[in-house]
Chain A
């Protein structure tokens, strides 16, 4: 055993149990190769039903217009854009895990990156639905693209944040998809070579692109992953920055603040990690992958949640302070009367946001709570409720009372079709996730093998002596090996 592979005993093992390379392949491929369970079918069918309800809701909207969503002159953005920002934010944790943690050389990402990247892609697909269907005349959606047209050609407004969003979201989706799939190719080849049934051989044969595992190919693959990670890191920050520009570049009280970009990015990572926890706490149990997605992984992600939750909390307090300190009447009114005032029409939503996002994650200062799966699952749901309300607070409480009191809105509440559309995206998301977890390996097999001899439990145990040995003892034992 060469010294190069040594990793301190202080770091807990990332793969538990006595594993070798073949065992890793077996463990991760087992759920893919087994018949789907009753639980899977139940979950899948519920998701499909929700998706169908979503399709019906969208059909209603296309037939009768955005009025179906209780949107009008005063409240032009309601649940739809709230949901859009919420879904985009959820996607960001996947890119953080796969890209930023790769650049920071965090070994623990290997256990969770594949599922988190898949989550990113599905979340971005869901997010994209909202601005598209919100257009109302969706058959004109291609107007957002700069193509030579017969109207001049009149180009799109490249100075508009809404157009930046078009470019940001579509680039984000494309790059995430490429990153995810290029990482998946070697693992699909593993499944292909293990396949016994004809359809599996054909399906994984096509999907694996003819991967062989040649050293030269691996060298290029490593280079590709690293550069894509380097590109995705600023990309993920830019995407939510641009989403926040949709608000920050306007002159609406409560939106017109410079703190929005970092505040939105922190919130996005916060909610994204919560969604990763929701999915993985269940996935690891159902697929029996507790030795790969260990309590350590869960704990580390809970630490990220308490960190980003606190950043978000500071951002809330900062914008509140600045609203008062700025001496702008409209700004202060939006905060004091529309948000903080518990007895204003939407005051309750502000306090739900504060409670779920700022107070509740503080429970993760305690190690026992970070390692408790029930608490983690419950908290992950709570955080996502809180983050949904954050976007709701920002959007609705700022627009329902604008500069002109005569146009103040009566109480805005969503219609069944607006709620149905949101539920439909849950259906879409979970349908995709169920299919993914059935047909693709939810953990990156090759990457786990890569860290196995450094961070695997059995290999760490064997090297435990190194830290207490003297130099001479170590030399006697290891020096003459080669």
Chain B
């Protein structure tokens, strides 16, 4: 990942944020992300994000759990070591339903959470550049990514016109690194000017 240049604006109300997101996209700006303190239904659609496939992944993990349980129990009780439980058949599927079900749920849940953490790059000791610490409290932060063609000044006044407060041009690290939240140390110690000179 790299340090990039952003124009960020803060919104205090999602009623203002929604039309702002739509107008920003229509104006052709590239929205890097919108950071919100809670999930806002429909914002992903408004930003043009595609639906998540996490459900599908969960389904695949689930059926692999089912297959593991049925396969393993069948092998253990009918092939590897046959045991006679009161003359019942070796292949007694109804009695295996509980464990099969539990493993289906277990595989699906664990798999989905791990996939979620992988996709969102979440883990203990992971540090990410925080655009605005109040975005976990009461502020909706929209970050526009600046390209070569972006005119900073225009973007700033555009966001201000949409009702954004504290509009700033900032250099931000987009990836994650191993770091602690009590120090301000970034992954790459670059001043704004240095990054600008490089780009």
Contacts and interface: CB of A to CB of B under 8 A. Distances in A.
Contacts of B124: 206-207, 209
A168 B100 CA distance: 10
DSSP majority for the A interface?
Answer: helix
Given A223-B54, A449-B38, A158 B113 contact: no
A167 B136 contact: no
Given A21-B137, A238-B101, A218 B39 contact: yes
B44 A219 contact: yes
A227 B37 contact: no
A480 interface: no
Interface string A125-163: 000000000000000000000100000111101110101
Interface string A216-250: 11111111100110011011001000100100000
Nearest to A25: B137
A198 B99 CA distance: 46
Contacts, number: 203
B110 A446 contact: no
Interface residues of B, number: 68
B109 A158 contact: no
A167 B81 contact: no
Contacts of B38: 186, 218, 445-447, 449-450
B106 interface: yes
Contact of A178 (B49, B88, B109): B109
B182 to A, nearest CB: 4
B109 A228 contact: yes
Interface string A307-318: 000000000000
A278 B122 CA distance: 35
A234 B49 CA distance: 31
Given A227-B55, A238-B102, A185 B122 contact: yes
Contacts of B131: 212
A157 B102 contact: no
A209 B102 contact: no
Contacts of B116: 182, 220-221, 224
Contacts of A189: 136
B179 to A, nearest CB: 9
A202 B106 CA distance: 31
Given A2-B15, A206-B124, A446-B38, A159 B85 contact: yes
B101 to A, nearest CB: 6
Nearest to B98: A164
Interface string B100-127: 0111011011101100110111111111
Contacts of B37: 21, 25, 186, 190, 213, 446, 449
Given A159-B95, A209-B124, A193 B85 contact: no
B76 A155 contact: yes
A472 to B, nearest CB: 24
Given A20-B138, A158-B76, A221-B39, A231 B105 contact: yes
Contacts of B47: 215
Contacts of B134: 193
A163 B92 CA distance: 15
Contacts of B126: 209-210
Contact of A205 (B44, B99, B180): B180
Q: Which of B35, B98, B134 has the most CB of A within 10 A?
A: B98
A204 interface: yes
A193 B130 contact: yes
A219 B113 CA distance: 14
Given A21-B37, A193-B137, 15 more contacts: A154-B83, A155-B80, A164-B98, A168-B98, A175-B109, A182-B113, A190-B37, A204-B181, A210-B122, A210-B128, A215-B40, A216-B120, A217-B122, A218-B38, A235-B102
Interface of A: 1-2, 20-22, 25, 146, 152-155, 157-159, 161, 163-164, 167-168, 171, 174-175, 178-179, 182, 185-186, 189-190, 192-195, 198, 201-202, 204-207, 209-224, 227-228, 231-232, 234-235, 238, 242, 245, 445-447, 449-450, 482
